[in-house]
C-alpha cells in the first residue's frame, strides 16, 4: 500500500513539507509506503475545458507535457491514496495546486475513484479552514473517502520549518496518518488491523 503526498508549496522544504513529512514518517511506522512529490515553483496550467482528455483514451491531459499533471495521474495508478498539502494564500490554497487538482481529477479520474484522500493546509494566522475546505470539495465529487483527524488537518507557522513547533498541529498530522493507514488496511481486508491508538491530546494556542 502506498500514499502519494503532494507538496503544493513553491517552497520545497517549507512548512507544508514539514507537515507532509510528519505524515509520511507516521505512515512508515504503520507499515504504509509513501512518496512526497513537490509541485515545483513553476506555473501549472489551468484547465481550459477542452475535453480532449476524455477522447484520448489514456487518462492524460493534452497539456501534461508542460507540468507535472500527467506524472501525478500516472503515479496514482500505482498508489492507494492521496494527500494534498498547501500553504494558505488569501484564505485559499496555492493557485498551482488548485490547477493541478482540477486537472488530475478531471483527466485522470479513473485513477482516483474510490481511493481515500485528505487535504492539509498550513498558514501563518488565518484562512486555513477555508483553504482546507476548498481542497476537500473536489474529492467529495469523485467518490473518494475523506480521511480526517482529531481536528481539521491544519498547522501554523511562518518561517521555514516553523510549523514543527505547532505541537497540536503535528499531532493532528500523525493522527491523520494513523487514520489513513487504518482505513487502507481495512480496505485491503487486513483483519488484524486494530483501531488507531490515540495519543494523549496536546492542545496548543499561540499567545506567548
Q: Which domain holds residue 165?
A: 2-187
CB 100 within 8 A of CB 44: yes
Per-residue pLDDT of the chain (208 residues; tens, 9 = 90+): 999 999 999 999 999 999 999 999 999 999 999 999 999 988 899 999 999 998 877 789 998 788 999 999 999 999 999 999 999 999 999 999 999 999 999 999 999 999 999 999 999 999 999 999 999 999 999 999 999 999 999 999 999 999 999 999 999 999 999 999 999 999 998 776 777 889 999 998 876 5
195 assigned to some structural domain: no
Question: Helix or strand or coil: residue 106?
Answer: helix
Number of domains observed in the structure of the chain = 1
197 assigned to some structural domain: no
**Cα separation, 155 vs 132, whole angstroms:** 11
207 assigned to some structural domain: no
106 assigned to some structural domain: yes
CB 142 within 8 A of CB 106: no
198 assigned to some structural domain: no
65 assigned to some structural domain: yes
CB 122 within 8 A of CB 85: yes
Size of the chain in residues: 208
**Cα separation, 189 vs 193, whole angstroms:** 9
pTM beyond 0.85, yes or no:
yes
196 assigned to some structural domain: no
80 assigned to some structural domain: yes
CATH of the domain at 133: 3.40.50.360
Amino acid at each position: 500500500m502506498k500514499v502519494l503526498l503532494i507538496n503544493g508549496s513553491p517552497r520545497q522544504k517549507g512548512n507544508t513539507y514539514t507537515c507532509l513529512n510528519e505524515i509520511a514518517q507516521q505512515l512508515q511506522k504503520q507499515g504504509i509506503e509513501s512518496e512526497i512529490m513537490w509541485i515545483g515553483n513553476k506555473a501549472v496550467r489551468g484547465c481550459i475545458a477542452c475535453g480532449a482528455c476524455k477522447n484520448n483514451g489514456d487518462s492524460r491531459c493534452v497539456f501534461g507535457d508542460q507540468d507535472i499533471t500527467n506524472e501525478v495521474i500516472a503515479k496514482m495508478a500505482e498508489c492507494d491514496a492521496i494527500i494534498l498539502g498547501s500553504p494558505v494564500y488569501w484564505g485559499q490554497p496555492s493557485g498551482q495546486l488548485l490547477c493541478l487538482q482540477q486537472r488530475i481529477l478531471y483527466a485522470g479520474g479513473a485513477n482516483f475513484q474510490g481511493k481515500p484522500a485528505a487535504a492539509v493546509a498550513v498558514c501563518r494566522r488565518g484562512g486555513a479552514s477555508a483553504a482546507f475546505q476548498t481542497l476537500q470539495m473536489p474529492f467529495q465529487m469523485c467518490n473518494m473517502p475523506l480521511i480526517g483527524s482529531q481536528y481539521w488537518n491544519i498547522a501554523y507557522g511562518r518561517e521555514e520549518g516553523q510549523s514543527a513547533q505547532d505541537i497540536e498541529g503535528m499531532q493532528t498530522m500523525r493522527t491523520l496518518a494513523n487514520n489513513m493507514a487504518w482505513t487502507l488496511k481495512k480496505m485491503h481486508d487486513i483483519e488484524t488491523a486494530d483501531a488507531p491508538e490515540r495519543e494523549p491530546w496536546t492542545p496548543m494556542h499561540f499567545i506567548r
